[in-house]
């Protein structure tokens, strides 16, 4: 009876002792990330845009659809820090609301592409044979086209709205993760722990999702961080040329398209949405490069 109260503490101590190498590795990773000023800047930029997206209803002085019809194309001022557009919309407020939309699109696309590509790539690499051959030829077809061109073709076939824009980007991005995971699985399935799992009678699905995929997570994290910036740029490009968000929607690419005819008379209309795209993509790429350097065993050493 006297030993019972100490049992949970002993169990917790045992849990931490078992995972001590992983904990030390995680702390060392954080230490390496803190040593890079560019990574810190990247995290700062990403954090800023995340905060802006989450708290948009409180940070934006006006609604995304609110218009001041009597004050179109006003230059930046205390009342309108980024000026107004051709319809009298507050660009500062619209840039803030667009951050929520563009980041939501990027996260949806990358997460969906990871799920689809990881499942198909893991099954292809582990089972091989005909399924692997067919999947690799399909990914070859998708990867043969530039991302923007292929997304534009899919979006044009589906129609102009945000849902179809998101679907088009998922179609473009999943083959990258399928190939990445397939390569990781081909390397992992030859290791001893996979043979041990097979020896005890574990099913292929359990081996793939319980043992192999967790060991391939780090390349996915790096690729996803870099792809988030790419998705933001591609989504903005599609909206700019008329294949994305509908008229009047607060979206960075569409806002630039609305201001392209007034670059000399009212340059602020396109400048501030363009800066938002620039700094959000820059932050994601800085973090992605830092993670790649830290998680690559050769560079880490």
- Report which of 180, 187, 84 is spatially closest to residue 126, judged by C-alpha positions: 187
Q: Has residue 55 been placed in a domain?
A: yes
Q: Has residue 19 been placed in a domain?
A: no
- Are the C-beta atoms of residues 75 and 69 closer than 8 Å to each other? no
Rounded distance between C-alpha atoms, residue 112 and residue 48, angstroms: 24
> Which helix (H) or strand (E) element contains residue 58?
helix 56-59
Domain interval for residue 170 = 36-300
CATH classification of the domain holding 123 = 1.10.3720.10
E strand segments, the chain = none
Rounded distance between C-alpha atoms, residue 236 and residue 251, angstroms: 8
Beta bridge partners of 67: 89
Beta bridge partners of 84: 90
Q: Which residues contact 160 (CB under 8 A, 6 or more apart)?
A: 242, 243, 244, 246
Which of 27-36, 222-231, 240-249, 287-296 has the lowest average pLDDT?
A: 27-36
- The sign of the CA dihedral 227, 231, 232, 233 is positive
Structural domain total, the chain? 1
Q: In the numeric block, which tokens belong to residue 100?
A: 């929520």
- Are the C-beta atoms of residues 119 and 174 closer than 8 Å to each other? no
Tell me the pLDDT tens digit for each residue of 141-169: 888 888 888 888 888 888 878 888 899 99
Confidence of residue 2 (pLDDT cuts 50, 70, 90): very low
- Report which of 13, 102, 114 is spatially closest to residue 50, judged by C-alpha positions: 102
Rounded percentage of the chain residues whose pLDDT exceeds 70: 82
Tell me the pLDDT tens digit for each residue of 39-65: 888 889 999 999 999 999 999 998 888
Q: In the numeric block, which tokens belong to residue 42?
A: 């990247």
Q: Has residue 26 been placed in a domain?
A: no
Q: Which residues contact 29 (CB under 8 A, 6 or more apart)?
A: 294, 295
Q: Has residue 199 been placed in a domain?
A: yes
Phi, psi at 114, each rounded to 5°: -65, -45
Confidence of residue 256 (pLDDT cuts 50, 70, 90): very high
- Report which of 62, 106, 55, 145 is spatially closest to residue 239, judged by C-alpha positions: 106
pTM for the complete prediction?
A: 0.82
Q: Has residue 142 been placed in a domain?
A: yes
Q: Has residue 67 been placed in a domain?
A: yes
Q: Residue 254 pLDDT more than 50? A: yes
Q: How many CB atoms lie within 10 A of CB 264?
A: 6
DSSP 122: H
Greatest extent of the chain over all pairs of C-alpha atoms, in Å: 83
| Predicted pLDDT of residue 15 | 45
| Predicted pLDDT of residue 63 | 85
- Are the C-beta atoms of residues 118 and 181 closer than 8 Å to each other? yes
Rounded distance between C-alpha atoms, residue 67 and residue 260, angstroms: 20
Q: Which residues contact 265 (CB under 8 A, 6 or more apart)?
A: 73
Q: Has residue 165 been placed in a domain?
A: yes
Q: Has residue 279 been placed in a domain?
A: yes
């Amino acid at each position: 009876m006297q030993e019972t109260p100490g049992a949970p503490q002993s169990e917790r101590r045992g849990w931490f002792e078992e995972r001590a190498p992983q904990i030390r590795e995680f702390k060392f990773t954080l230490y390496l990330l803190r040593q890079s000023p560019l990574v810190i800047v990247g995290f700062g930029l990403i954090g800023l845009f995340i905060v802006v997206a989450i708290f948009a209803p409180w940070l934006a002085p006006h609604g995304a659809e609110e218009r001041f019809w009597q004050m179109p194309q006003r230059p930046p001022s205390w009342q309108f820090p980024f000026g107004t557009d051709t319809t009298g919309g507050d660009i500062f407020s619209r840039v803030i609301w667009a951050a929520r939309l563009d980041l939501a699109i990027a996260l949806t696309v990358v997460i969906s592409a990871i799920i689809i590509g990881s499942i198909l790539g893991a099954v292809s690499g582990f089972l091989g044979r005909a399924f692997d051959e067919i999947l690799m030829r399909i990914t070859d077809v998708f990867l043969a086209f530039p991302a923007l061109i292929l997304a534009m073709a899919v979006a044009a076939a589906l129609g102009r709205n945000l849902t179809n824009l998101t679907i088009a980007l998922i179609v473009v991005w999943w083959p990258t993760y399928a190939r990445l995971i397939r390569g990781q699985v081909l390397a992992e399935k030859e290791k001893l722990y996979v043979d041990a799992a097979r020896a005890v009678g574990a099913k292929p699905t359990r081996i793939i999702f319980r043992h192999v995929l967790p060991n391939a997570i780090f390349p996915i994290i790096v690729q996803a961080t870099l792809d988030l910036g790419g998705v933001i740029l591609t989504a903005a490009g599609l909206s700019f040329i008329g294949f994305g968000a509908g008229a009047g929607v607060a979206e960075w690419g569409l806002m630039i398209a609305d201001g392209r005819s007034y670059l000399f008379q009212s340059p602020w209309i396109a400048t501030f949405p363009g800066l938002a795209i620039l700094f959000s993509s820059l932050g994601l790429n800085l973090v992605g490069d830092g993670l790649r350097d830290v998680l690559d065993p050769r560079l880490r050493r």
